[in-house]
Structure 1
């Protein structure tokens, strides 16, 4: 059973997934800090110092903190947009990498040129030209 578990745990896909989760968690913390510490204070200044997080409603000794919910929605959209932008950048970089560069014509020495001519002559003979 231990050997089966080692094979499973050390597969490339499992390790890639673990690395992605760790990097995703770290990226989430960075984006959350960006939202909480930079973007929302600027938004608060633009709307006259209003803090959405403090909005609440009291109903028979029950406090509904709907401002926290609104803040979570705003955070979600900003984080989603940030991830979208990062993924889009990676896709564009991958596309540029996948596009083959214009290949320079290969310089052949005399032996290679003769072999190419022989190959072409043999292929013409096979096709009956």
Structure 2
């Protein structure tokens, strides 16, 4: 079991995922800083200096910090937008899916051509076909 776990952990996908999680954690703190210290004050300028994090609603002794929720939504939207931009940039450098599919289709067409040529050669040369059958019978 330990050996299997070691193989699992040493796979590239697990290591890539670990690196992604670590970088994602660091990136989250950058985005939170961007939102809290740059974007929220900027939005506050346009709406009269209001800080969302101070917005609360108290009902029957319960405190609802919906301003913090607004900050979380802004954080999410910024992170989603940045990830969207990054994916678009990465996709620019990767080959398009259509090109890959065309290459695969061409490879299939080529293999079909080769198989047809082999078939035709066997049909046109009965001696070759009988030699193949004899070899097949001798291996049984």
**What TM bracket, shorter-length normalisation?**
0.5 to 0.7
Partner of 2:94, secondary structure, is: helix
Partner in structure 1 of residue 12 of structure 2: 12
Q: How does 1:1-129 map to 2 (within 5 A)?
A: 1-95=1-95
Q: Which has the higher helix share?
A: 2
RCO comparison, higher one (Cα < 8 Å, 6+): 1
- Aligned-pair Cα RMSD in Å: 1.9
- Structure 1 equivalent of residue 127 of structure 2: none
User: How far does residue 94 in structure 1 lie from its aligned partner after superposition?
Assistant: 3.0
Question: Normalized against structure 2, the TM-score is what?
Answer: 0.61
TM-score by length of 1: 0.66
